[in-house]
């Protein structure tokens, strides 16, 4: 007889549980039917952010004071794209240096997939490096904070590919760490561009990398903001505003 006795509480909970599971299944179904971020506002073409002159240049500001630059050079070779990235930052109090940062990174991409990453970084006197290459579906090699578990699909933190905002895992181009992130779409807004302003779509990354980043509908990276002892922002400029390569600092790192 006891086997046939069912608590009224259980009877009350069962329909609610069934409905909750059904609702969850429907939400998953519609999420698969519709692209992320509603209207999927930025291009999915991985090369859409590469300009015709193959150069992206940004000035970096801290609390609206210029502290450095970020330069990206693209070189096409058949089906591959080589990406050379150089960053220099300096924070000073008058003539007193407070913080210095130099980063040089070379990446090889093919069909939107990172093939290799080699970088050296002087992070205010603390060295970091990465030397990784794709083999099958794994990135193998070395890095100052590389621990493995870097498997496809994954991208680096070089930002030029608008599919960056469709990732859950990233490779730190500074030290080879696995960065787990969540991405939220915050809408469209006007941001400064090389000349005037441009409408761009704002995304917020949280988790192991906390930044806001903007892309145009066409896929061009036009702004980044994050907090590091103040608000740092990247703003696009003409490459002519960047110091010549002959004046760039070299990065010496003992691996």
Model pLDDT, residue 7: 30
Q: Is residue 139 part of a domain?
A: yes
Model pLDDT, residue 70: 98
Output the pTM of the full model: 0.83
Length, in residues, of the chain: 255
- Measured CA to CA, the distance from residue 222 to residue 254 in angstroms comes to 34
Q: Is residue 18 part of a domain?
A: no
| Number of structural domains the chain divides into | 1
Q: How many CB atoms lie within 10 A of CB 9?
A: 8
Model pLDDT, residue 181: 97
Model pLDDT, residue 38: 45
Q: Is residue 253 part of a domain?
A: no
Q: Is residue 50 part of a domain?
A: no
C-alpha dihedral, 35 to 215 to 179 to 116, nearest 10°: 100
Per-10-residue mean pLDDT for the chain, 255 residues long? 34 38 40 45 96 97 95 95 98 90 97 97 96 96 95 96 96 97 96 95 97 97 92 96 96 79
Q: Is residue 165 part of a domain?
A: yes
- Measured CA to CA, the distance from residue 20 to residue 73 in angstroms comes to 51
- Measured CA to CA, the distance from residue 19 to residue 57 in angstroms comes to 52
What domain range includes position 168? Answer: 55-247
Q: Is residue 85 part of a domain?
A: yes
Model pLDDT, residue 93: 87
Q: Where are the extended beta strands (E) located within the chain?
A: 55-62, 65-77, 80-93, 96-110, 113-123, 126-135, 138-143, 155-156, 169-171, 178-192, 197-207, 211-215, 221-227, 231-236
Model pLDDT, residue 252: 84
Show Cβ contacts of residue 164 under 8 Å, excluding neighbours closer than 6 positions.
155, 157, 170, 213
Q: Is residue 43 part of a domain?
A: no
Model pLDDT, residue 21: 43
């Amino acid at each position: 007889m006891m086997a046939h006795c069912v608590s009224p509480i259980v009877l009350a909970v069962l329909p609610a549980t069934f409905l909750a599971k059904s609702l969850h299944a429907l939400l998953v179904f519609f999420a698969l039917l519709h692209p992320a971020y509603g209207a999927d506002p930025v291009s999915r073409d991985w090369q859409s952010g590469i300009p015709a002159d193959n150069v992206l240049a940004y000035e970096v500001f801290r609390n609206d004071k210029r502290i450095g630059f970020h330069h990206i050079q693209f070189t096409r070779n058949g089906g591959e794209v080589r990406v050379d990235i150089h960053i220099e930052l300096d924070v000073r109090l008058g003539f007193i240096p407070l913080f210095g940062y130099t980063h040089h990174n070379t990446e090889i991409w093919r069909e939107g997939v990172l093939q290799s990453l080699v970088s050296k970084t002087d992070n205010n006197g603390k060295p970091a490096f990465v030397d990784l290459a794709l083999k099958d579906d794994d990135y193998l090699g070395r890095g100052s904070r590389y621990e493995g578990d870097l498997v496809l699909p994954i991208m680096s933190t070089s930002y030029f590919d608008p599919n960056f905002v469709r990732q859950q895992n990233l490779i730190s181009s500074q030290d080879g760490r696995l960065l787990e992130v969540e991405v939220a779409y915050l809408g469209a807004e006007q941001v400064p561009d090389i000349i005037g302003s441009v409408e761009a779509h704002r995304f917020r990354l949280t988790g192991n990398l906390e930044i806001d980043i903007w892309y145009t509908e066409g896929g061009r990276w036009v702004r980044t903001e994050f907090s590091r002892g103040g608000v740092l922002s990247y703003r696009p400029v003409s490459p002519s505003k960047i110091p010549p390569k002959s004046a760039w600092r070299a990065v010496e790192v003992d691996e």
